[in-house]
Amino acid sequence: MSWFFPAMPECNSCGDCCGPVTATATEITAIRGFVEAHGIAWTEHDDPLTCGFYDRAEQKCRIYPVRPAACRMFGVVDEMPCPHFPDAASVSMPIHRAIQLGIMNPEDRLLSESFGGTPGISLEEIQLVGMLTARGRPAHG
Ligand code: SF4
Ligand code: SF4
């Protein structure tokens, strides 16, 4: 799905947006193949909300080539602005449009659920936060 979105031009790989993200079944299959081929395991961080595929020491995503659309959208779409470079967002992609296009699906699950991690937050809690922030720009940290 990367062809839907331009690269985030200002990204410094700080990982501040690498929290709990969802993935489609197709994305999970691709990620599973990638991690098996490269011997990558989900890693728990001190901060339970940090994605287990984020390498804090190297400041990089360990599954970058197959990261979910949700990660590709962050900082690029107006609805998911980077907290550090909010002006870098250049494409509008509301969640309902992403679902219409099949980029996301209502039954998507958290990466942590599929790769043996301990979810620091439930999908229901994320959806609640999304509802609470739907009238303004989403809160990130
Ligand atoms: S928070 Fe912004 S700068 Fe940091 S990794 Fe995410 S998109 Fe890049
Ligand atoms: S899959 Fe990669 S880009 Fe996406 S949240 Fe995890 S570490 Fe960040």
- Which pLDDT tens digit goes with each residue over 95-138? 888 889 989 888 888 898 899 877 666 777 766 655 444 433 33
- Flag whether 24 is in a domain: yes
* Structural domain of 108: 15-67+102-132
- Flag whether 8 is in a domain: no
d(CA 33, CA 45): 23
d(CA 34, CA 69): 16
CA 138 to chain CA centroid, nearest Å: 14
pLDDT in tens, 32-80: 999 999 999 999 998 888 999 999 999 999 999 999 999 999 999 999 9
- Flag whether 90 is in a domain: no
- Flag whether 79 is in a domain: no
The total number of structural domains that make up the chain: 1
For ligand 2, atom 2, the nearest C-alpha belongs to 61
β-strands 60-61, 109-110 pairing: unpaired
d(CA 23, CA 30): 10
Cα 131 to ligand 1 centre (Å): 22
Ligand 1 pocket residues where CB is under 6 Å: 8, 11-17, 74-75, 82-85
- Flag whether 31 is in a domain: yes
- Flag whether 49 is in a domain: yes
- Flag whether 72 is in a domain: no
- Flag whether 76 is in a domain: no
